[in-house]
Amino acid sequence: MTTIILLILAYVIGSIPSGLWVGKLFYNTDIREHGSGNLGGTNTFRTLGKKAGIAVTIMDILKGTVATALGLLPIFESTNVHPLILGIIAVVGHMFPIFAKFKGGKAVATSGGILLGYNWPIFVLLIVGFLIVLKITKMVSLTSMILAIVAVIYSIIYYFSVKHDVPLIGIVLLIAIFIFYRHRSNIKRIKAGTEPKVKWI
């Protein structure tokens, strides 16, 4: 029973629609009605501006981190659920949030939060890489997909050079699949040359 509660809690944390709540509470705006209609940080930047975008991105990252760390709470010590499993459940909650009619974000920030909670060096690497690639491409979607591939490569190198962490490879690969799947429409726009570009970097 405790395990079930833990898994549900991870999903609920991931389901918190940061962009929707920040938009409605502080800007009287439903970001689902603007831009791409997505609840993630990118559409928040585009719709509400830099401050709101940064706040929502941080909140979405922390959802993954908090979910990953849930198993450390004394009440859940006996469950033995791998932290990466809790993290990926939070990502599912972020993509299909119960609080927003199961229409959520694209898994990028919350996935980063998993890595922050489980293996912070890869998180730092990806943040630096994200900013560099975004500076070059000007497209958040393309940058996210490129960094998803980088994360998979890193996890494989980590496996052979540092620690045989099979769960890390498996979850990072699953995250990459999620990210590419959620960016299907972006891929079409990139091919057509119509994908929006950011102007703040």
Query: Is 90 exceeded by the pLDDT of residue 67?
Result: yes
Q: Which residues contact 131 (CB under 8 A, 6 or more apart)?
A: 201
pLDDT, position 199: 80
Q: Is residue 200 part of a domain?
A: no
DSSP structure class, residue 28: S
The CA distance from 150 to 86, in Å, is 22
Q: Is residue 49 part of a domain?
A: yes
Tell me how many degrees the CA angle 25-101-17 measures, rounded to the nearest 5. 35
pLDDT, position 168: 97
Query: Is 80 exceeded by the pLDDT of residue 201?
Result: no
pLDDT tens digits for range 68-120? 999 999 889 889 899 999 999 999 999 999 999 899 999 899 999 999 999 99
Q: Is residue 115 part of a domain?
A: yes
Q: Is residue 99 part of a domain?
A: yes
Q: Supply the range of the domain harboring residue 105.
A: 2-192
Contact 113, 62 (CB under 8 A): yes
pLDDT, position 198: 86
pLDDT, position 40: 87
Query: Is 90 exceeded by the pLDDT of residue 185?
Result: yes
What confidence category does residue 46 fall into, taking pLDDT thresholds of 50, 70 and 90? Answer: confident
Average pLDDT of the chain is 94
Query: Is 90 exceeded by the pLDDT of residue 36?
Result: no
Cβ of 115: how many Cβ atoms within 10 Å? 29
Q: Is residue 17 part of a domain?
A: yes
CA atoms within 13 A on the CB side of 162: 12
Q: Is residue 197 part of a domain?
A: no
Amino acid, res. 115:
L
Q: Stretch 54-63: mean pLDDT, rounded? A: 96
Q: Is residue 201 part of a domain?
A: no
Q: Is residue 198 part of a domain?
A: no
Query: Is 80 exceeded by the pLDDT of residue 200?
Result: no
Q: Stretch 54-73: mean pLDDT, rounded? A: 96
pLDDT, position 86: 97
Contact 60, 41 (CB under 8 A): yes
What confidence category does residue 37 fall into, taking pLDDT thresholds of 50, 70 and 90? Answer: confident
Q: Stretch 117-146: mean pLDDT, rounded? A: 95
Number of domains in the chain: 1
Query: Hunting for tokens 């079409």 — which residue is that?
Result: 188
